Amino acid sequence: MASTLEILRRLNLHEVEYVLVGGMAGVLYGSSLVTEDVDVCASFEPENLGKIVSALGDLNPRHRMNPNHPPLALNAVELAGFKNLYLITDLGQIDLLSEISGVGGYPEVSRYSIAANMKGLVCKVLDIDSLIRARRAVGRPKDLQAAAELEVIRRRLKGRASQ
């Protein structure tokens, strides 16, 4: 969790436009399913890509999906050709996604986000309803399992809110 917080702290420090999604977002709601990476939906506009480079550039970012793990091009112009970035860094893995299945691109994802505080670090997190919708839209067994667990958590949270 410490490396996750450090990655998010760096994104915040450089004012990257992003929303936490995926497994870590689920953990914030109470999911017991562990994840090895940080998944964020980010704006892939040139200015934001430049901020991503500034935030992660000194962490030795490399392309995770290529078996040779080539280094990430550290300029926004080259990164503009990507739809998603799957990276491994000195602090761990981060997936930067331009859109989320079942929700939409960064503007829509941002609209369906809430502010969350993780040990003093505030960031936007996809709301639980949209997170469930995204997991169902992906449809892999592990995502369907996560969606089912999040539905139980959502019912519990709604029960507490009505008391």
pLDDT by residue for the chain (163 residues), tens only, comes to 569 999 999 999 999 999 999 999 999 999 998 788 999 999 999 999 999 999 999 999 999 999 999 998 888 888 888 999 999 999 999 999 999 999 999 999 999 999 999 989 999 999 999 999 999 999 999 999 999 999 999 999 888 776 6
Closest residue by Cα to residue 39 from 93, 89, 79, 75: 93
Q: How far apart are CA 96 and CA 39, in angstroms?
A: 6
Residue 149 contacts by C-beta under 8 Å, 6 or more apart in sequence? 26, 31, 32, 33
Question: What pTM did the predictor assign?
Answer: 0.94
Domains annotated for the chain, with CATH where assigned, are 2-152 (3.30.460.40)
